[in-house]
């Protein structure tokens, strides 16, 4: 019975410590995101792709792609601003555990298992810029790659705030897409840099 009480106490402390850490991280990331319109732009672009790809009138479809180019450019700018903003984080604040589940204060006592959120967001900003710069791609190819880049960015934000496992579950729940599928769909430079930074799948 004493062992049961001990296990329950450990579970409670573990949960409270994780919740406190996650709330801190959410607040920290929100400070950098709140002046920007990235989430709204992501929704506009991703919904716009579906609309453009489903449009049967070629002229109307081209008009939608033209509007989306403006939104894509703004996302690129906004992600660049976010990457610059998070450079203000201390190195300790920017650590993200590579472990699949959240472990209380692991970023403080085992920094070797962490990657740097500042580097991750810079990587995402470069990824979006790379996709926009491709001149030989069709609209469909660009839309597919850009969607994957934005989903991976969103995954990283959830990973920073909670854990990789939670981030992957949210990705599946929201977009019906697995982490491996997203990683396979981003541009090769993004995929290679992301795997190097996070230590693989």
Which of the residue ranges 1-5, 19-23, 137-141, 193-197 would you say has the lowest mean pLDDT?
A: 1-5
Q: From 101, 5, 80, select the one nearest 36 (Cα to Cα).
A: 80
Q: Is the confidence at residue 3, as pLDDT, over 60?
A: no
Q: What pLDDT is attached to residue 110?
A: 76
User: Is 95 in a helix, a strand, or coil?
Assistant: strand
pTM: 0.90
Please state, in angstroms and rounded to a whole number, the distance separating the CA atoms of residues 163 and 158.
7
Please state, in angstroms and rounded to a whole number, the distance separating the CA atoms of residues 197 and 159.
13
Q: What is the pLDDT of residues 50-87, one digit of tens each?
A: 999 888 888 888 888 988 999 999 999 999 999 999 99
φ, ψ of residue 150 to 5 degrees: the values are -70, -35
- Give kind and range of the element (H or E) at residue 168: helix 164-175
Band (pLDDT 50/70/90 cuts) for residue 17 is low
Q: What pLDDT is attached to residue 153?
A: 98
Please state, in angstroms and rounded to a whole number, the distance separating the CA atoms of residues 147 and 139.
12
Mean of per-residue pLDDT scores for the chain: 88
Q: Where are the alpha helices (DSSP H) in 34-138?
A: 38-54, 58-86, 106-109, 117-133
Q: What pLDDT is attached to residue 112?
A: 86
């Amino acid at each position: 019975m004493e062992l049961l009480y001990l296990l329950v106490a450990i579970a409670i402390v573990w949960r409270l410590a994780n919740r406190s850490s996650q709330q801190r991280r959410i607040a920290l990331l929100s400070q950098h995101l709140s002046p920007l319109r990235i989430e709204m732009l992501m929704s506009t672009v991703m919904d716009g792709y579906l609309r453009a790809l489903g449009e049967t009138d070629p002229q109307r479809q081209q008009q939608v792609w033209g509007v989306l180019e403006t939104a894509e450019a703004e996302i690129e700018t906004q992600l660049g601003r976010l990457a610059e903003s998070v450079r203000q984080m201390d190195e300790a604040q920017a650590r993200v555990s590579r472990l699949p589940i959240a472990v209380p204060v692991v970023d403080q006592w085992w920094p070797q298992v962490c990657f740097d959120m500042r580097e991750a967001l810079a990587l995402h900003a470069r990824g979006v810029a790379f996709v926009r710069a491709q001149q030989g791609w069709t609209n469909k190819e660009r839309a597919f790659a850009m969607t994957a880049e934005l989903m991976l960015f969103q995954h990283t934000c959830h990973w920073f705030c909670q854990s990789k496992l939670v981030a992957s579950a949210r990705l599946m729940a929201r977009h019906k897409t697995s982490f491996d599928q997203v990683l396979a769909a981003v541009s090769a430079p993004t995929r290679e840099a992301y795997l190097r930074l996070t230590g693989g799948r």
